[in-house]
Amino acid sequence: MRPRNAELGLLILSFVIALGTYALVDLSRSTAIDPGIVGFAVPFALLVAAGHIAVRRLAPAADPLLYAIAVLLSGFGYGVIRRMDPDLAAVQLGWIAVGVGAFLLTLFVVRDHRKLEQFRYSFMLLGIGLLLLPLTPIGTDLGRAARLWVQVGPLSFQPAEAAKVVLAVFLAGYLAQKRELMTLAVARIGPLGIPAPRHFGPLLLAWGVSLAIMFYQRDLGSSLLFFSLFVISVYAATARGAYAVVGMSLFGAGVWFAYDRFAHVRARISDWIDPWSTFEGTGRQIAQSAFALGTGGLSGVGLGLGNPQLIDPGLRSGTLPTDFIFAAIGEELGLLGTLAIMLLFVLIVARGLHIALRSRDQFGTLLATSLTVIIGLQAFLIMGGVSRLVPLTGITLPFVSYGGSSLVANWVLVALLIRVSDAEAVR
């Protein structure tokens, strides 16, 4: 039980940081802490305890860091969202509860990750269906640029968030089965071994689906995330550079075509290159996020003392607590605060890859790799987009950003990583 005792200590620290974030936001506005802190502390503590007990009972030998980091990011994210809009924070606490519930359910239902492999093609169909669901009549853009949501009555959600986990399971199962065939080289071009042409078929299918997401859903983020997941997973399974070269070439060609033919792609890339020329229009938020990060300096202006509303005045577009929450953190906590967030994601990636390397079955290795790629790449894309390292993709910062679909999907993702970790530790 030593890993669980270490986890318990980290959870206590994470809980204290979450309460500290809540309190500092209040003290930045007045000399007293809102008594409502009890309304956050009690349910959050119960959720954290429930998750810890479940891991202790259902996955006692699992990695001790993953659950604790997820709790820390979720609790801190709640505090930052509350600083922007208390009403959104109340909703976010509900989504944290749903996410932890999905985490518990996943651990309870999936007792052996290897059993998921036999349903790989069912996961493939489900994943593609979820990705393309926003293109159906029940799809909606909720007044934003990208058509990412599905609305059924009062409930709206982003099916792409569930699709990323589902497709990770499919990829792991498919590649575990086809790995040897896809590794065989029938020709060489310089140092690259070229597999048989038929093995590039799945790559072309993934390329087609990613382009459909980019063109018709106007979602550059999901398009890049899913195609990158596929290419990286194939490379991890086969160690054939040809797949990576062909994959990057295909996606580059698709982006070039989209830039030439679609105004929304052209605007996104132009705003990345020079947001100042469109400051009064589409480039305003990217430019203001750069100002926010610059204002934060080394240590920030203080939690609750910045002006994140300049990025999205009045939360009119709803992108501040989702797409640009990292910029708000950078302004108020500075470079040190943003580095702390980045290091937490680096730790998740490091632990995920460690789990993959320790796995004794091919499916477990590839599943852990795919899940780790998802969370690491998603964090990189949004943090890099806000800081103008890469074009802004509009996806959420895992666990930190406001949004139920992403939060629930990422809690399920962590549960699967914990399941693989526990299985390898007890063998």
What does the pLDDT read at residue 425?
Answer: 62
Mean pLDDT, residues 328-350:
96
Amino acid at the residue 50: A
What does the pLDDT read at residue 100?
Answer: 97
Mean pLDDT, residues 18-24:
94
Mean pLDDT, residues 55-73:
95
What does the pLDDT read at residue 251?
Answer: 81
Assigned token pair, 282: 């589409």
What does the pLDDT read at residue 269?
Answer: 85
What does the pLDDT read at residue 142?
Answer: 61
What does the pLDDT read at residue 193?
Answer: 61
For 126-144, what is each residue's pLDDT tens digit?
Answer: 988 888 888 777 777 665 6
| CA distance linking residue 26 with residue 13, whole number of Å | 20
For 91-136, what is each residue's pLDDT tens digit?
Answer: 999 999 999 999 999 999 999 999 999 999 899 899 888 888 887 7
Per-residue pLDDT band for 10 (boundaries 50, 70, 90) equals very high
What does the pLDDT read at residue 42?
Answer: 96
Confidence check: pLDDT of 45 > 90: yes
What does the pLDDT read at residue 323?
Answer: 84
For 143-180, what is each residue's pLDDT tens digit?
Answer: 565 667 787 766 777 888 899 999 999 999 988 888 77
Query: Cβ-count burial of 152 within 10 angstroms (0-12 exposed, 13-18 middle, 19+ buried)?
Result: exposed
Helices 37-58 and 86-109 cross at an angle (nearest 10°) of 10
Higher pLDDT, 380 or 322: 380
How many C-beta atoms lie closer than 10 Å to residue 305's C-beta? 14
For 206-249, what is each residue's pLDDT tens digit?
Answer: 878 887 777 777 777 778 888 888 888 888 888 877 778 888 88
Higher pLDDT, 400 or 227: 400
Assigned token pair, 319: 């992108």
- Alpha helix segments (H runs only) across 359-397: 362-386
In 351-363, which positions are buried (b, 16+ CB within 10 angstroms) versus exposed (e)? Answer: bbbbbbebbebbb
Per-residue pLDDT band for 314 (boundaries 50, 70, 90) equals low
For 255-312, what is each residue's pLDDT tens digit?
Answer: 888 888 777 778 888 888 888 888 887 788 899 999 999 999 999 999 989 888 888 7
**Under 8 Å between Cβ of 23 and 33:** yes
Confidence check: pLDDT of 186 > 80: no
Per-residue pLDDT band for 6 (boundaries 50, 70, 90) equals very high
What does the pLDDT read at residue 253?
Answer: 87
Confidence check: pLDDT of 402 > 80: yes
Confidence check: pLDDT of 43 > 90: yes
Q: What single string gives the DSSP state of each residue in 303-368?
A: TT-S-GGGTSGGGSSS-TTTTTHHHHHHHHHHHHHHHHHHHHHHHHHHHHHHHHHH-SSHHHHHHH
**Under 8 Å between Cβ of 232 and 277:** no
Amino acid at the residue 113: H
Residue 367 sits at φ, ψ, to 5 deg, of: -65, -45
Confidence check: pLDDT of 76 > 80: yes
When the pLDDT of each residue in the chain is averaged and rounded to a whole number, the result is 87
* Greatest alpha-carbon span in the chain: 72
Confidence check: pLDDT of 1 > 60: no
| CA distance linking residue 157 with residue 398, whole number of Å | 16
| CA distance linking residue 22 with residue 233, whole number of Å | 39
| CA distance linking residue 209 with residue 254, whole number of Å | 11
What does the pLDDT read at residue 192?
Answer: 63
